[in-house]
């Protein structure tokens, strides 16, 4: 019970302080970047204010954390200290660390971060992605054992150009793989063979492909409840590439390709996969009129078998409902993450949060969710090196399972009030 869990957070964020990206942008686009920053500042002004009673939450987070983790976003040593305190030995780093929309940290330039899509300007979004990747490679280089940086690669506009960036990222230590836009329109969907050069390069360079939550369908632009509506359905676009790749036969054509969907919930996975299996097996009568073989086209295994072999779910801070459904979601697929330094994550209360949520989950399953799956999804990590760090700073098995369950009012949201069997 004195054993310490290795925690690998499969969902963290970093980015430099405002203006710092400029020197990483190609010189011919720096003026355009200045204009872009002015527009972003204007939008931030529109979004500011106490909408929805937001200030109370912001104030509490600032009071708890001192600076909302702002120093950590570009200072690897400060970052290590905060992760140590939270019990986290290693992290996968996505872009867009601007934790509260307060504008002290930039988003990945030209919309190349979490909201990247096919509608971006091809030249600018690739230049922005390259700027983030260059900055991130430097930051990760300061304590490389603990960090798997994720390269932004807007693959939709020019797949061949994307391959060059994948190669660059792999050669510069970004072992978190690549994040692709979850929204491909107006370009073809990811089942299209035009992207096979991308998947092939990711296999060759051992780079995981992933989407991450950020942005929605874009057709709810205001009116009553707009924030609630957008937040409720924002899971859908980042989730789509999973079944597009799977049913499009990409995992058949690239058996070694790894794909993860991160910070996008996990509750939707069992139905998505079971429904795909039903169609593949012909047990779903409703779709047979489209041709029974339409659901086997290019596949040699059941969808659930590809999912188990090729896919991971960066479940971040799973709900009680998701933890209760972990078997169906996939014990070997789910990855925990603290979403550091975002305020919707568990930092700086990860130790309490893990004990509250996981105290009755068997330790061998916790190990899968806390690190073993992440070590498979991101093979650039060295397990022994990280366990040595965990042996110093990780939560003990006793802390999570045997100590009295913490009553921590700062672990917001009344987690302990929700009966788990409500959700199964």
Of residues 224 through 243, those in contact with its own copies by CB under 8 A are: 224-229, 231-233, 236, 240, 243
Q: Is the dihedral of CA 344, 22, 170, 201 positive or negative?
A: positive
Site for its own copies contains 36 (CB under 8 A): no
* Choices 123-131, 153-161, 254-262, 295-303; region in contact with its own copies by CB under 8 A: 295-303
Question: Min. distance of Cβ 57 from its own copies in angstroms?
Answer: 5
Binding its own copies by CB under 8 A: which of 65, 143, 191, 408? 191
Binding its own copies by CB under 8 A: which of 284, 304, 387, 396? 284
Site for its own copies contains 184 (CB under 8 A): yes
**Between 219 and 384, whose beta carbon lies closer to its own copies?**
219
Question: Min. distance of Cβ 295 from its own copies in angstroms?
Answer: 5
Binding its own copies by CB under 8 A: which of 30, 54, 167, 302? 54
Question: ω into residue 183 within 30 of 0, thus cis?
Answer: no
**Between 244 and 331, whose beta carbon lies closer to its own copies?**
244
**Between 1 and 228, whose beta carbon lies closer to its own copies?**
228
* Choices 87-95, 203-211, 244-252, 369-377; region in contact with its own copies by CB under 8 A: 244-252
Site for its own copies contains 255 (CB under 8 A): no
How big is the chain, counted in residues? Answer: 424
The Cα 179–Cα 200 span in angstroms is: 15
The Cα 74–Cα 157 span in angstroms is: 29
**Between 126 and 247, whose beta carbon lies closer to its own copies?**
247
Site for its own copies contains 383 (CB under 8 A): no
Binding its own copies by CB under 8 A: which of 71, 268, 363, 365? 268
Site for its own copies contains 223 (CB under 8 A): yes
Of residues 337 through 356, those in contact with its own copies by CB under 8 A are: 342-344
């Amino acid at each position: 019970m004195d054993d310490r869990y290795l925690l690998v957070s499969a969902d963290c964020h970093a980015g430099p302080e405002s203006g710092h990206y400029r020197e990483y942008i190609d010189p011919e686009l720096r003026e355009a970047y200045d204009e872009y920053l002015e527009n972003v500042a204007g939008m931030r002004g529109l979004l500011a204010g106490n909408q929805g009673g937001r200030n109370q939450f912001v104030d509490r987070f600032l009071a708890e954390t001192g600076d909302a983790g702002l120093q950590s976003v570009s200072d690897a040593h400060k970052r290590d200290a905060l992760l140590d305190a939270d019990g986290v030995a290693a992290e996968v780093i996505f872009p867009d660390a601007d934790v509260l929309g307060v504008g002290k940290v930039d988003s990945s330039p030209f919309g190349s971060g979490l909201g990247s899509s096919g509608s971006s300007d091809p030249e600018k979004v690739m230049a922005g992605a390259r700027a983030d990747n260059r900055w991130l490679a430097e930051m990760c280089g300061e304590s490389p054992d603990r960090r798997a940086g994720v390269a932004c690669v807007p693959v939709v506009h020019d797949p061949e150009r994307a391959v060059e960036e994948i190669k660059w990222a792999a050669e510069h230590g970004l072992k978190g793989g690549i994040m692709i836009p979850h929204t491909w329109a107006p370009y073809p969907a990811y089942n299209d063979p035009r992207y096979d050069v991308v998947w092939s390069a990711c296999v060759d360079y051992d780079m995981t492909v992933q989407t991450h939550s950020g942005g929605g369908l874009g057709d709810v632009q205001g009116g009553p409840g707009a924030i609630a509506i957008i937040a409720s359905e924002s899971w859908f676009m980042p989730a789509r590439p999973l079944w597009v790749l799977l049913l499009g036969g990409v995992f058949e054509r690239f058996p070694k390709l790894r794909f993860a969907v991160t910070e996008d919930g996990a509750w939707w996975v069992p139905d998505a996969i079971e429904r795909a299996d039903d169609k593949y097996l012909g047990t779903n009568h409703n779709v047979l009129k489209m041709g029974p073989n339409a659901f086997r086209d290019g596949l040699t295994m059941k969808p659930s078998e590809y999912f188990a072999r090729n896919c991971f779910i960066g479940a971040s801070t799973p709900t009680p409902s998701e933890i209760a459904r972990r078997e169906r979601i996939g014990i070997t697929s789910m990855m925990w993450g603290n979403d550091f330094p975002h305020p919707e994550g568990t930092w700086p209360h990860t130790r309490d949060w893990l004990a509250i949520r996981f105290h009755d989950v068997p330790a061998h399953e916790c190990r899968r969710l806390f690190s073993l799956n992440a070590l498979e999804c991101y093979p650039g990590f060295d397990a022994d090196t990280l366990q040595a760090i965990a042996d110093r700073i990780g939560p003990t098995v006793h802390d999570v399972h045997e100590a009295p369950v913490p009553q921590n009012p700062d672990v917001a949201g009344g987690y302990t009030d929700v009966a788990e069997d409500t959700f199964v």
